[in-house]
Structure 1
Amino acid sequence: MLLNNIALFQKIVEKGSLSAAGRELGLSPTTVSERLSALEAHYGIVLLNRTTRAISLTEEGRTLVEGAKHVLGEIEDLETRIRHGAQTLSGLIRVSAPSDLGRTIVSEQINLFLAQHPSISVELLLSDGYIDIVGQGFDMAVRFGTVIDSSLRVRSMGEWRRLVCAAPAYLARHGTPRAPADLKDHNCLVMRFGVNLDNVWRLGPHAMQQIVTVQGDRVANDSALVRQWALDGHGIMFRSELDVGPDIRAGRLVELLAEHAPPPTPIQMLFPPSRAQPRRVRALADQLAARLLQRD
């Protein structure tokens, strides 16, 4: 009964209210409230601050949510192994990825993975901004750059160059920049990451780095849209070779200022802090890492 109440508590937090959790699980509001009270009585603490309009987690409630996700995941894995054998994987995997990479390599690997493991389902959220992996309940996330949150588990998937590039049509109309400073005279396509505008481009190796503040007539918080703008000939962009490599090889984009390329940027998979990780998550992570490390 304790595990059932913990699962109910997790559902309450996910749905944002006792009534919404009850509707999804087919339980009356009274039953939900009684079981939540029983869980709080078991631990002797308050897990949720409740008002007529909203609920919020106490510090103890947050600790329980973070731990419960992994405990319940391990129990689900154990049940699957007992019922269906050690080779069967099942359950939900929640993944966060950058929008462009998520639509291409990550989505491609998820499709292959689900074809091999039909009892698994995947929820993929595409976002180029900051994601609270633990707070939003993700099993894994793919991110470019240095990891700021030292509490997360990190798996490196190599380093990739960031390239300045544009479509041949744009270069035919506006000319080709020959030095980093020339970018100031061009229409640059800028990414926004939350409140941060990625309009300060650092080019060249560390010892000879040149910093250029660019501007243009298009800004977006979606990397796939910025890439499409570049393909359509609207301007110059600064993107990972993971995203634009196929377009450059096909001639749809042209790499610029190659002699001023900055040091490669790491790409990593992030996981919530926990000793135990569901087998289904490890299996998908292994497959995605193998694909990214191919460097084709």
Structure 2
Amino acid sequence: MLLDNLALFLRIVEKGGMAAAGRELGLSPATVSERLAALEAYYGTRLLTRTTRAISVTEEGRLLVDGARRLLAEAGELESRVRLGAETISGPIRLSAPEDLGRWRIVPLVDDFLAAHKDVTIDLNLTDGYVDLVGQGIDLAVRHGTLADSSLRSKPMGENRRLVCAAPAYLHAHGAPQHPDELAMHDCIVMRFGQNIDREWPFRVDGQPYAVSVGGRRIANDGGLVRQWCKQGFGIARKSERDVEEDLASGALVEILRDYSAGGTGLQIVYPQGNIQPRRVRLLIDHLASAFG
């Protein structure tokens, strides 16, 4: 029963409320309250501070979140090995990835993984915004750029060059910029990452870092939509080479300002720190890293 109550506690934290957690698990509000009270009585401390509108995790609760995830992972791993044997992989994996890269490159790899491991389930979150892995109970995420969160670990997936591109129709109608400064005269399609809008595009001029401010009529938080708009000739976009390599090969998009490219950014798998990861998660991490590497 302790493990069940720990799982309920984690779901409350992930969902941000007792009612939402109860609905997902099929439990009445009274049952959720009783089981949370039992967990707090077991540990002899308050784990959540509750108001009529929200909950917040106490210091003791935050400590339990990390420990509970490790304990439940170990318990799940042990049950799989005892019930099904050491070679059987089973259980859920929660994965986050950028929308465009995830849809066209990650999903096929996930499909292959699921075909090979029939007892594994995947909960996939495709988003170009920030994801709190620990707070939302995500097992692993694919991310661009360098690792900024010291509470996470990472596994490299290779370089991922960023480039500026446009459709032939747009370039025919408006001409191709010959210098980054000329982007100010063009309609640029801009990405939004959470609350941040990617209006500063980095380049290298005479071997030195050089940033220009861009603008346009279209802003989106969906990399796939930015790519679609760009292919339709609505403007110039800054994309990852992995996202548009097929479009470049087919001629649907054309790279511009290549001589001023700012180079690549790392692509990596990130996951919460901890001594224990379920074998299914470790295998998926290796599967993704191997395919991209």
Report TM bin, short chain. Answer: over 0.9
Aligned identity (percent) is 56
Deviation at 1:205, TM superposition (A): 6.7
Deviation at 1:27, TM superposition (A): 4.9
State how 1:49-68 maps to structure 2 within 5 Å. Answer: 49-68=49-68
Question: Could you tell me which residue of structure 2 aligns to residue 141 of structure 1?
Answer: 141
Paired residue secondary structure (1:129): coil
Work out whether residues 206 and 262 of structure 1, in 8 Å CA contact, stay in contact via their aligned partners in 2. no
RMSD: 1.9
In structure 2, C-alpha distance between the alignment counterparts of 1:21 and 1:189, rounded to whole Å: 38
- Return the alpha-carbon distance in structure 2 between the equivalents of residues 65 and 49 of structure 1: 15
| 1:231 shift after superposition | 0.6
Aligned pairs for 1:1-296 (under 5 A) are: 1-22=1-22, 24-25=24-25, 27=27, 29-204=29-204, 207-293=207-293
TM-score normalised according to structure 2 size: 0.93
Aligned 8 A contact 2:202 2:210 in 1: yes
Contact 2:15 / 2:136 at 8 angstroms: preserved in 1?
A: no
Deviation at residue 4 of structure 1 after TM alignment = 2.7
CA distance in 1, matches of 2:62, 2:235: 45
Structure 1 length-normalised TM: 0.92
Alignment CA distance shift 1:31-1:173 (3 Å) = closer
Is the 2:94–2:140 contact (alpha carbons within 8 Å) kept by the matching residues of 1?
yes
Cα distance change of structure 1 residues 24 and 134 upon mapping to structure 2, 3 Å threshold: closer
> In 1, Cα distance between the equivalents of 2:179 and 2:92?
49
Q: Which runs of 4+ in 1 moved over 6 A?
A: none
Aligned mates of 2:31, 2:259 — CA distance in 1: 67
Further displaced range: 98-107 or 28-37: 28-37
- Report the Cα offset of residue 87 of structure 1: 1.6
Q: Hey, what's the Cα distance between the residues in 2 that align with 1:110 and 1:195?
A: 29
Q: Which string of whole-angstrom CA distances, capped at 9 and with x for unpartnered residues, describes residues 78-129 of structure 1?
A: 1111111112111111111111011111111111111111111111111111
* Unpaired stretches in structure 2, ≥5 consecutive residues: none
Query: SS at the partner of 1:130?
Result: coil
**CA 178–283 in structure 1, closer or farther in 2 if over 3 Å, else same:** same
The one-letter code matched in structure 1 to 2:35 is R
- Greater shift, 109-118 or 59-68, is seen at 59-68
